[in-house]
Amino acid sequence: MDTEKDSGGRIPKELRKWEDFAKFFMVHFGDPSEVERARGQWQKGLTQKGKCVDYFETAENLLLKLGYD
């Protein structure tokens, strides 16, 4: 991948930044129903059933999957 170049001789856009690569990878290899499952879980609401840190990790992961900052 280090030697791959686009038609202009530059590093392809999806390889320039980690965020671009992650987005490219998820579009091509990610689970397409993951966002719908996250949306359903968010709409049902979250309840804390264990450690606070686990609850916040779950909430953060859902927010990331749904595209929120």
Residues 37 and 69 in one domain: yes
Measured CA to CA in angstroms, residue 22 lies from 2, 13, 15, 50, 55 at distances of 16, 12, 9, 30, 25
pLDDT per position in the chain (69 positions), as tens? 667 787 888 888 888 888 888 888 877 787 878 888 999 999 999 998 889 999 999 999 899 888 886
- The DSSP letter of residue 1 is -
Counts of helices then strands in the chain (DSSP H, E): 4, 0
CB atoms within 10 A of CB 14: 16
Q: Does residue 42 sit in the same domain as residue 62?
A: yes
Domain that holds residue 58: 33-69
Distance, CA of 58 to CA of 49 (rounded, Å): 11
Based on the domain organization, do 42 and 69 belong to the same domain?
yes
